[in-house]
Amino acid sequence: MKYAITCLFLITLLAPAAYADDHIISKQEAIELAQQRHPGRVLSVKLNKEHYHIKMIDDKGNVRLVKIAAGKETPQQD
């Protein structure tokens, strides 16, 4: 019985680490990542199943759609 309780305790402690790769970044984190890659003003942010779609405008008036993976910190551009 003592062994079972110890195992359950360890599983409870280690479980969050197993889900670290599935971390969903916040809207603010996605915006910051997009602005690091493409400076400009954010017009809109939408979260789909796997990506944030961030519409931005630069100082020359060019509108750009930046796609940020919600589970990773790697910006992707459409």
Give residue-wise pLDDT tens across range 15-28.
Answer: 444 444 456 899 99
Total structural domains in the chain?
A: 1
What does each C-alpha distance from 24 to 9, 12, 16, 28 come to in angstroms? 26, 21, 13, 12
pTM comes to 0.62
CB 63 within 8 A of CB 57: yes
Q: d(Cα 42, Cα 34) in Å, to the nearest integer? A: 9
The answer as to whether 13 is a domain residue is no
- CATH number of the domain residue 64 falls in: 3.10.450.40
In a domain, 63, yes or no: yes
Q: What range does the domain containing 33 cover?
A: 23-77
- What is the SS3 assignment for 15? helix
- 15 found inside a domain: no
- pLDDT digit string (tens) for 13-69? 444 444 444 568 999 999 999 999 999 999 999 999 899 999 999 999 999 999 999
